[in-house]
Structure 1
Amino acid sequence: MPFSDYERVVLAHGGGGRVMQRLIRDLFVAAFGGAALERGHDGAVLRPRGPIAVTTDAFTVSPRTFPGGDLGSLAVHGTVNDLAMCGARPLALTASFILEEGLELRELATLVEHMAAAARSCGVEVVTGDTKVVERGKGDGVFITTTGVGELLVDPPPGPERLAPGDAIVVSGPIGEHGVAVLAAREGLSLEPPLVSDAGPVHAAALALVEACEVHCLRDPTRGGLASVLAELATASGSSMHIREADVPVRPAVADTCELLGLDPLYVACEGRFVAFVPAAQVDDALACLRRSGCEQAAHIGALGPASADPLVFAESALGGRRILDLLSSEQLPRIC
């Protein structure tokens, strides 16, 4: 391989010497490109035109490759999506890699190539980064941490503090596909039809919505799924929420797999969906905007109630029963993002 005489990561790849410099030059810089990386400096200089949003996230998933994506593309999409939830257009990313001694360099190269392709498709540049190597058995292969910087499109930006009683709750598409796809890949489950993760960028649809409607809050339901996001925001807003389970889009394969395994799809992670809170009078406009942006199965699933001393999330079943959606006390699915 052009970037190393080794087939696997060795401690020298993080030692600061010739082996590390070749890895950075011939793998990372070659894949990500751009004038900022080619400078070889300790950081990058950005010149935004206005207020910015910043987010950071660490990514680990098992297995590292799953139907619909891998750790590399996930690291880009997850950070770009978090910027979009702030109402910001992504400008630049940083990337930090913690590599375990013994990781195959061929696998690392594939993850980096997919990460670079995801960045290009999102119109965002990786401008600086870092590489560390830990001893065999102390790193679980590879961890990727990314920080994103984005330019705010609206002021004030969407956020929990803007939630208001009566807001309509809209979800951009079917939930639970990422968590179930990763679980199936991890456990070797053969599902028919095969499930593919929803992992992908949502910034185009989210930012179109922000520019078209008065959006009070945006959130992507990753770890803990839709139910956990709603429970967190109910507490933050001081208002209870009411959703209709029959209106929450869930693909039959996801629903059937969750039922078989004893999982609740409302708590299963997504990596390519988001929840939007808009004034009730604008819900039809919001749905139309999302569908024009490719979110054909966007749905209005409920609303915020009045302020409450004990804000809870209530889910109404198709039969008229009601249950409370609370935060999980433990993990339903480990290692999904």
Structure 2
Amino acid sequence: MTKATDAEFILLEKTPLYAEHIEAGAKMVAFAGYEMPVQYPLGVKKEHLHTRDAAGLFDVSHMGQIRLSGNEAAQYLETLVPVDVVDLPVGKQRYAFFTNEQGGILDDLMIANMGDHLFLVVNAACKNADITHLKCQLPADIAIDVLEDYALLALQGPKAADVLARFQPAVSDMHFMDIQKLEINGIECTVSRSGYTGEDGYEISVPATQAASLSQYLMACEEVEWIGLGARDSLRLECGLCLYGHDLDTSTTPVEAGLVWAISPKRRKGGEREGGFPGAEIILPQIESRDVQRKRVGLVGLTKAPVREGTVLLNAEGHVIGRVTSGTAGPTAGKPVSMGYVDAEYTALDTEIFAEVRGKQLPMLVTRMPFVPQRYYRG
């Protein structure tokens, strides 16, 4: 008998909807310490297309949900992120990222102003590190409550609003990035009009004990299908959205990643609250000069072969100029799409470069992202 390794004894956590996934015939995989559904009997491609055409239901309960409370919670949180938190209106949320002293990205997250507290949603793989970061960096009088007893559902797609309005008509009046507390079929939830697919839709924080009931109400609607991690990844990539740990990491600055739009003007050079976040002395000059050695770009394949994460990118002379960080067949785009980092001199639109796949050099063109239009509801 061979000796088992420590890794074999690691127990994966289950979300409150685990039984629902098993009943639905999901294929479960290990992801960020959880057993998560990667696909259902419908299959990844059909799940992807269903979300684009109707409404997909995603279990994203593995994400971290955190409540920050205290008189100066917004001011202190601003010392960790390069965005405007102080002036974030009540009932609105904003995309943000934690930065380090080297200007790299520790994680990206959502920050919402709920009036009496800030509500944060962080990535599953970074959840524990983010909580530790907050506890180490924020003063003791800022309460940090991790909402372990809550699940998180995402209802995404062009029919999501019609479906959810049957249970709570007020969701129809919400715009992209609005957030509020609402009852859905008698269940008290925190609902934001947002998501990770590029489609209109909602993310719903719900008490764990009532998550299964809510999912059953939604799944009873003919427009709704369960959607797994596989389609979630291809949906977000088609819409040009980054995945932390792949397209973003601690060695990548927001300027290299093409995320300057997410850095609030008030926190930039000359702004009323200029800097004051980790890595500002690196990031702010990069914004001004745009002088970086590499940049994130969109790539479309000129052949039918998908170009996956980790693929080396070459110039016409065969020299390495970058690497793919995400890639998919592009079910809606109808062509292989990827994103990755290339040397700055190769970032002009329509520049032809080559992906090294199984010994062959496949041509690709640098292109704009998103690869398919984002359809957020802005009113």
More strand by share: 2
TM-score (normalizing by structure 2): 0.24
Greater RCO, CA 8 A, separation 6+ = 1
- Per residue, is there more helix in 1 or in 2? 1
Instruction: Name the TM-score, length of structure 1 as normaliser.
Output: 0.26
